[in-house]
Amino acid sequence: MSSTPSAPPSRGAHDPGPVPGQPPVVAPPRGRARLRRLAPRAALFAVLAVGTSGCTSNAFTRMGWPEPITKQGQVALTLWQGSWAAAWAVGAVVWGMTIWAIIFHRKKRASGGAPPQQVRYNLPIEMLYTVVPFIMIGVLFFFTARDENYIDKLSAHPDVTVNVTGFQWSWQFQYPGYRVPGSPTGDVTMYGEPWSPQAGNSQLPVLVIPRDRTIRFNLVSTDVIHAFWIVPFEFKRDVIPGHPNHFEVTPTRLGTWIGHCTELCGLYHSRMLFRVKIVTPAQFSQWIHTQQALQQRSGGAQ
């Protein structure tokens, strides 16, 4: 049976309706033409909306992450945002082509309902959709490895070192080099109590570090595996018995935050909190000298 396309069908008052034995017209050409006109404008609007909202840093552009308070955290955030941008770009191409195919390649009356031309065993296309994902994975791998190396980098001479000891269920912060003769650890050391309903945050151990300085953390545990997590560092690292871990950050913002243990370590894991204070270098040096004097007088840590 041959079907010869005749004059374009119109859905006016004289439309006789579908001809028996012939497939009905699926989409009226007028609607299709309108879609064809509107699709580029909608795409342009979407690109503009995403592009203009990317200029400011807010919870939406950070895709749920908190504002970073270290240089390393900023690098991690940029990688997170870049990965999302790449995913959205791939998504837009895939969704765009899918929707385009749905709208503009529906079964046509002229084809008599025959399936469209098939593209299997098309070598160039198969090569394309094998090679392109490999390139995308390669690009993601490159940026991830580059940023991971930067975040994991340890400097030869950090400005301040803090020995962190995790235990059930609190933390100890020791500042080697800031001597306190006669004290149990020999250096300025901060202790605290786990969070409690009575005391709240007031008795938590305090970690004080200066802004714009390189801070090295040496992490050890005396019992089980804990993990050291200050949320806006955009970073966490395990604290493992018998396996010292290390990392460095350069804080960029002044303020006080709450740090957590982020490895389920027992009954009071959720109470294993600490306070983090980022201060100016001058305030830090004043604070540490006050602690030296105070701890020498009291013969122990605060």
**Main-chain phi, psi angles of 52, to 5 degrees:** -75, -30
Stated as kind and residue range, the H or E segment containing 261 is strand 255-261
Give the chain's end-to-end CA distance (angstroms, integer).
94
Q: How far is the CB of 261 from Cu ion (least distance, A)?
A: 3
d(CA 26, CA 77): 47
d(CA 278, CA 71): 14
Rank residues 79 and 162 by Cβ distance to Cu ion and give the closer one: 162
Rank residues 194 and 251 by Cβ distance to Cu ion and give the closer one: 194
Rank residues 1 and 267 by Cβ distance to Cu ion and give the closer one: 267
Q: How far is the CB of 262 from Cu ion (least distance, A)?
A: 8
Q: How far is the CB of 69 from Cu ion (least distance, A)?
A: 22
Nearby residues of 2 by Cβ (< 8 Å), 6 or more positions away: none
Rank residues 168 and 185 by Cβ distance to Cu ion and give the closer one: 168
Rank residues 171 and 178 by Cβ distance to Cu ion and give the closer one: 171
Q: How far is the CB of 269 from Cu ion (least distance, A)?
A: 5
- Residue pair 210/280 in contact (Cβ under 8 Å)? The answer is yes
Q: Name the token pair of 228.
A: 């050291």
Alpha-carbon distance values, 229 to 247, 258, 261, 267, 286 (Å): 12, 9, 6, 18, 26
Rank residues 188 and 273 by Cβ distance to Cu ion and give the closer one: 273
210: DSSP letter: E
Contacting positions for Cu ion (CB under 5 A): 226, 261, 265, 269, 272
167's torsion region: left (phi>0), alpha (psi -120 to 50) or beta? beta
Q: How far is the CB of 131 from Cu ion (least distance, A)?
A: 46
